[in-house]
């Protein structure tokens, strides 16, 4: 590499780099100097088990805390933001208030999911950004590494350090320009680039962290609105209670006590983002690195519950939702059906109580119990129960019977 041999990239040449990266479709381009982040809250988060079963967070802990283990000699983190804002849309809140104009049991999707998979659409932009670094800085491919989401990089922390925004009490990186609707990507590079200032300009020491909720003031809307009470403290999400975790990452049974709180959310959760007053400044996305998949939002719950593996693959090809697989989507849809009072779907749910996957069967049994009542559910599911052998599913029947005993 040749770039680090000279002085740090600064002034007009740094701004040229920023403009070239913006031209690739990144709405925000900011620079942070690599420093020690031993104080970042990752270790306590893991020690308390707040990562649920995301074992990969534990496995990559050292790398996340030390960029040098990811790229030896890394000097700068380039943080890139992709705005997916659309101020007119407020689906989660509107659904809660029954204002969407859609059927009462229309499922609610996380906004980012209603696009082609951002991991796939942003990666080519990152590859192009790498070529810009090579051209302007004389770097070679081994002088930088880029990631979007899945790399061992504390993206929100570096974004706060680069002044892209602040970490809200909802744990999100919130931008003054884009509110909460910003996806992040990062490039670690050996090129020394003069850092941008964080929002709180004078940190006492370089390894000091920006305070959580720097621009939140007395507001606690996100903490109050979380349907499952998932914040263990301001800025810290207990994934074991988070709807986003359970509907996307959890591949097994969703705890019974959290199912009601999931409401109509079939994939992900935007509640703590949507209530944030900083979104009032959000601008509509240029969508250069994203492509909208509004058709997914049009799917009716009945259609989803009746999906075959082939139809699932056709509809969700190229989206983040495909990783959930049909089993995960059916599981979530059973919960949404129960929570939205979709009694017209009882026959479909009864069929799903005999579906191949025990995960789907367990949630279908619960949904029938919720919609029909424990006594009627016993009759409706008598045949399915007589054929059931899986302990997870049998546990759902038991708990339903327990509810019946408790409430008559």
Which residues bind to ligand B12, rule: CB under 6 A? 37, 40-42, 45, 54, 57, 110, 112, 148-149, 151, 153-158, 160-161, 167, 170-173, 182-184, 209-210, 235-237, 239, 242, 244-245, 248-249, 268-270, 272-273
Q: In the complex, what is the shortest distance from the CB of residue 264 to ligand SF4, in angstroms, rounded to a whole number?
A: 13
Please say which residue, 117 or 274, places its beta carbon nearer to ligand SF4.
274
Of 16-24, 29-37, 270-278, 329-337, the window that binds ligand SF4 (rule: CB under 6 A) is: 270-278
Instruction: Clarify whether 149 is annotated catalytic.
Output: yes
Asked whether position 168 contacts ligand SF4 by CB under 6 A, the answer is yes
Rounded distance between C-alpha atoms, residue 361 and residue 403, angstroms: 19
> C-beta of 108: minimal distance to ligand SF4 in Å?
11
Stretch that binds ligand SF4, among 80-88, 137-145, 271-279, 333-341 (CB under 6 A): 271-279
Cβ at position 178, least distance to ligand B12 in Å: 8
Residue 203 binds what, of ligand SF4, ligand B12, none (CB under 5 to 8 Å, by partner type)?
A: none
Burial class (CB in 10 A: 0-12, 13-18, 19+), 257: exposed
Q: Cα-atom radius of gyration of the chain, to the nearest Å?
A: 23
Q: Could you tell me which stretch among 36-44, 127-135, 162-170, 353-361 binds ligand SF4 (CB under 6 A)?
A: 162-170
Q: Which of 27, 120, 143, 149 is catalytic?
A: 149
Q: Which does 182 bind (CB under 5 to 8 A by kind): ligand B12, ligand SF4, none?
A: ligand B12
Please identify, using beta-carbon distances, which residue of 61 and 221 lies nearer to ligand SF4. 221
**Distance of closest approach, residue 48 Cβ to ligand B12, in angstroms:** 10
Binding to ligand SF4 (CB under 6 A): which residues in 278-297?
A: 278
Burial class of residue 282, CB neighbours in 10 A (0-12, 13-18, 19+): buried
Residues 208-247 that bind ligand SF4 (CB under 6 A): 213, 216, 219-222, 226, 228, 230, 237, 242-244
86 or 378: CB nearest ligand B12: 86
Q: How far is the CB of 307 from ligand SF4 (least distance, A)?
A: 25
Looking up tokens 């989507």 gives 329
Q: Does 96 bind ligand SF4 (CB under 6 A)?
A: no
3-state secondary structure the chain: CCHHHCCCECHHHHHHHHHHHHCCCCCEEEEEECCCCCCCCHHHHHHCCCCCCCHHHHHCHHHHHCHHHCCCCCCEEEEEEEECCCCCCCHHHHHHCCCCCCCCCCCEECHHHHECCHHHHHHHHHHHHHHHHHHHHCCCHHHEEEECCCCCCCHHHHHHHCCCCEECCCCCEEECCCECCEEEEEEEECCCECCCCCCCCCCCCCCCCCCCCCCCCCCCHHHHHCCCCCEEECCEECHHHCHHHHHHHCCCCCCHHHHHHHCCEEECCCHHHHCCHHHHHCCCCCCCCCCECHHHHCCCHHHHHCCCHHHHHHHHCCCHHHHHHHHHHHHHHHHHHHHCCCHHHHHHHHHHCCCCCHHHHHHHHHHHHHHHCHHHHHHHCHHHHHHCCCHHHHHHHHHHHHHHHHHC
> Is 276 among the residues that bind ligand SF4 (CB under 6 A)?
yes
Q: Which of 9, 65, 272, 315 binds ligand SF4 (CB under 6 A)?
A: 272
The nearer residue to ligand B12, 106 or 154, going by C-beta atoms, is: 154
CB 259 → ligand B12: shortest distance, Å?
17
The residue with its CB nearest to ligand B12 is 157
Site for ligand SF4 in 101-160 (CB under 6 A): none
Which of 271/367 has CB closer to ligand SF4? 271
Q: Indicate the angle between helix axes 358-372 and 391-407, nearest 10 degrees.
A: 10
Q: Which residue has the tokens 């079939």?
A: 266
Q: Counting every residue, how long is the chain? A: 408
* Residue in 76, 170, 340, 357 binding ligand SF4, rule: CB under 6 A: 170
Contact footprint for ligand SF4 (CB under 6 A): 168-170, 174, 213, 216, 219-222, 226, 228, 230, 237, 242-244, 269, 271-272, 275-278
Catalytic residue positions, numbered: 149
């Amino acid at each position: 590499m040749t770039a680090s041999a000279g002085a740090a990239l600064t002034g007009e040449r740094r701004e040229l780099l920023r403009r070239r990266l913006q031209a690739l479709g990144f709405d925000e381009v900011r620079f942070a100097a690599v420093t020690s982040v031993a104080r970042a809250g990752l270790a306590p988060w893991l020690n308390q088990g707040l990562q649920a079963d995301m074992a990969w967070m534990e496995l990559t802990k050292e790398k996340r805390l030390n960029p040098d283990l990811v790229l030896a000699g890394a000097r700068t983190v380039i943080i890139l933001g992709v705005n997916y804002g659309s101020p007119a849309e407020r689906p989660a809140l509107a659904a809660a208030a029954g204002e969407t104009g859609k059927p009462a049991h229309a499922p609610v999707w996380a906004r980012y999911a209603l696009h082609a998979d951002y991991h796939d659409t942003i990666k080519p932009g990152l590859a192009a950004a790498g070529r810009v670094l090579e051209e302007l800085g004389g770097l070679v491919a081994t002088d930088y590494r880029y990631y979007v989401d899945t790399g061992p990089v504390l993206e929100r922390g570096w974004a706060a350090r680069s002044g892209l925004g602040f970490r809200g009490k909802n744990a999100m990186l919130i931008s003054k320009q884009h509110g909460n609707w910003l996806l992040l990507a990062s490039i670690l590079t050996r090129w020394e680039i003069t850092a941008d200032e964080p929002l709180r300009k004078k940190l006492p020491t370089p390894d000091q962290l920006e305070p959580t909720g720097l621009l939140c003031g007395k507001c606690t809307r996100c903490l109050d609105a979380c349907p499952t009470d998932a914040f263990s403290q301001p800025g810290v999400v207990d994934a074991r209670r988070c709807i986003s975790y359970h509907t996307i990452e959890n591949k097994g049974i969703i705890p019974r006590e959290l199912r009601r709180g999931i409401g109509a959310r079939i994939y992900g959760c935007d509640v703590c983002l949507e209530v944030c007053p900083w979104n009032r400044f959000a601008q509509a996305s240029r969508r250069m690195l994203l492509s909208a998949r509004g058709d997914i939002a049009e799917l009716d719950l009945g259609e989803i519950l009746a999906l075959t593996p082939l139809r699932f693959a056709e509809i969700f090809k190229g989206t983040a939702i495909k990783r959930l697989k049909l089993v995960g989507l059916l599981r979530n849809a059973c919960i949404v059906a129960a929570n939205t009072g979709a009694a017209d779907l009882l026959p479909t749910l009864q069929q799903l109580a005999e579906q191949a996957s025990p995960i789907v069967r367990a949630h279908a049994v619960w949904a029938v119990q919720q919609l029909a009542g424990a006594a009627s559910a016993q009759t409706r599911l008598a045949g399915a129960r007589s054929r059931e052998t899986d302990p997870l599913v049998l546990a759902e029947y038991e708990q339903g019977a327990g509810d019946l005993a408790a409430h008559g």
